[in-house]
Structure 1
């Protein structure tokens, strides 16, 4: 499933192509991909046609496009009240295409945009496994008065479905003190806390393992024993690994994750822990040590650690 860097790559691409453009037509080819829009296909289309995309915003792995309605030929200048929410799921793709490009095999929704010279005119939602989808949602005020998420025009509004999640490590309004307080109040393992979107958002299995490796912390470290300096090192590691992933276009293990131009990301080549079971730990090898990355079962998935530079804590219970 795409994590924060992959969704941010998509957000940046969409912001370039769709911001300020008006939706002229919508085709729903598979209603299963708008099943989260409870009022049905006609209402979904009615909310989108003639609306102008004001921005593309992300918090954690949540992505939404605030909409302003075209009223009698002019865009309503008040704050947007609704947004088009995109959930990529396991295989969702948002692709910018020209009308002459043949439909993709798993095309689910086609959104036509007002023409602009040199820009593709269609936003297509493609989803092979149909775990993702699109829906229109309400925008609500943020609880802290800050921007809802990372966007081109910060507004103190957030998509209702994302309002319960914490800020992510790349959010300019991210608060380390808030994160540390939440972590210390938990009695769980460190990786479980990282995957808890109410503690810190946007981190999934891949980047949790990479951040923990960079910070030299074991995933089973009890959160109530975490020292402030260790937590600060972990947040910095998460920020570093996510920024590095962004520079590489994200992590692609197959053709299911691509950016809005259909290109894959290449950060998989730079992973130090995730998926490296049986390989030498690069940090230990550089120090003249022969330590092998270990894979362990964790929450119906896997965790990858170095047993030398990420030793399991004696009281690790998770």
Structure 2
């Protein structure tokens, strides 16, 4: 499933292509991909047709496009004001969802589910297509609600204190300018669990999945079973700083692509998988230990019905570790 860097790559691409453009018409080719829109196909289309995309916002792995009435957008833009927005198009990528910008003449993708026809803009593709092979993802229109802390709903070009209702329960992510380390650390120490389990809890810190949790823990030299209630402030700060750094590196590489299911809005794959230090490297030398002249190989262990990758030398298991 795409993690924060992959979704942020998509967000940045969409900002360039769809912000300020009006949705002129909508084709729903497979109603299963809008099943989360409870009122059905006609209501889904009616909410989108004639609406203008005012921004593209992300919190954690959640992505949404705030929508405003087309005429209201033009009037507000003429006055130099930010147009009001109370609804948004929510995009859930699931395991294989893709948002692709395409010209009208490009043949439909095999697993095309929804097509948005956008207002003309010089040099820009005219369609936003939602493609989903496994149909775990989907699109739906949702209400925007005030954030609980009064801060921006998420990372955006013109941040507003509004958030898609379905994302309101998750915490801020390490790339969010409004992320509070003090709040994170206070809540982390209040838990009695293992460190990686806490990192994967989207209510504590969002956007970190299995791949980037392993990479952040490796960079911070911390084992995934370290008890959270005994973690020193300096170690917690190093971990969040490592998580932020690894995700920024992944963004520079366009994300992590292990197959053709994850691509950006132009259909290109990311290359961060070539720079992984821990995840997926079972039996391979630990790069850090090798550089220090120490022989150590990455090991894989079962963790929460998935795998966890660590170095036994520079990420030693705690004697009193809890899972």
Is contact 1:52–1:69 with CA below 8 Å preserved after alignment? yes
**2:314 alignment counterpart:** 309
Query: Which segments of 5 or more consecutive residues in structure 1 lack a partner in the other structure?
Result: none
Is contact 2:52–2:73 with CA below 8 Å preserved after alignment? no
C-alpha separation between the residues in 1 aligned to 2:259 and 2:83? Answer: 42
Is contact 1:195–1:204 with CA below 8 Å preserved after alignment? yes
Determine if the alignment matches structure 1 residue 49 to structure 2 residue 54: no
Within 5 A, what are the aligned runs for 1:126-205?
126-205=131-210
Within 5 A, what are the aligned runs for 1:291-310?
291-310=296-315
Q: Secondary structure at the match of 1:67?
A: strand
* Structure 1 range deviating more: 71-80 or 50-59: 71-80
**1:225 alignment counterpart:** 230
Q: Secondary structure at the match of 2:166?
A: helix
**1:6 alignment counterpart:** 6
Q: CA deviation at 1:71?
A: 4.5
Q: Secondary structure at the match of 1:109?
A: strand
Q: Secondary structure at the match of 2:184?
A: helix
Q: Secondary structure at the match of 1:218?
A: coil
C-alpha separation between the residues in 2 aligned to 1:73 and 1:21? Answer: 10
C-alpha separation between the residues in 2 aligned to 1:192 and 1:139? Answer: 30
Within 5 A, what are the aligned runs for 1:9-48?
9-48=9-48
Residues 98-152 of structure 1, C-alpha deviation per residue, up to 9 Å, x if partnerless? 0000000000000000001100000000000000000000000011111100000
Query: Which segments of 5 or more consecutive residues in structure 2 lack a partner in the other structure?
Result: 77-81
Q: CA deviation at 1:220?
A: 0.5
Q: CA deviation at 1:61?
A: 0.2
TM (normalized to structure 2)? 0.97
**1:62 alignment counterpart:** 62
Residues 225-251 of structure 1, C-alpha deviation per residue, up to 9 Å, x if partnerless? 100000000000001000000000000
Residues 53-111 of structure 1, C-alpha deviation per residue, up to 9 Å, x if partnerless? 00000000000000001348956765201000000000000000000000000000000
Is contact 1:279–1:292 with CA below 8 Å preserved after alignment? yes
Determine if the alignment matches structure 1 residue 103 to structure 2 residue 108: yes
Q: CA deviation at 1:317?
A: 1.9
RMSD (CA atoms): 1.1
C-alpha separation between the residues in 2 aligned to 1:78 and 1:284? Answer: 54
C-alpha separation between the residues in 2 aligned to 1:217 and 1:286? Answer: 18
Q: Secondary structure at the match of 2:122?
A: coil
Q: Secondary structure at the match of 2:302?
A: strand
Change (3 A) 1:72 1:140: closer
C-alpha separation between the residues in 2 aligned to 1:181 and 1:14? Answer: 35
Q: CA deviation at 1:182?
A: 1.0
* Structure 1 range deviating more: 107-116 or 78-87: 78-87
Q: Secondary structure at the match of 1:257?
A: coil
C-alpha separation between the residues in 2 aligned to 1:144 and 1:73? Answer: 27
TM (normalized to structure 1)? 0.98
Q: Secondary structure at the match of 1:249?
A: coil
Determine if the alignment matches structure 1 residue 83 to structure 2 residue 88: yes
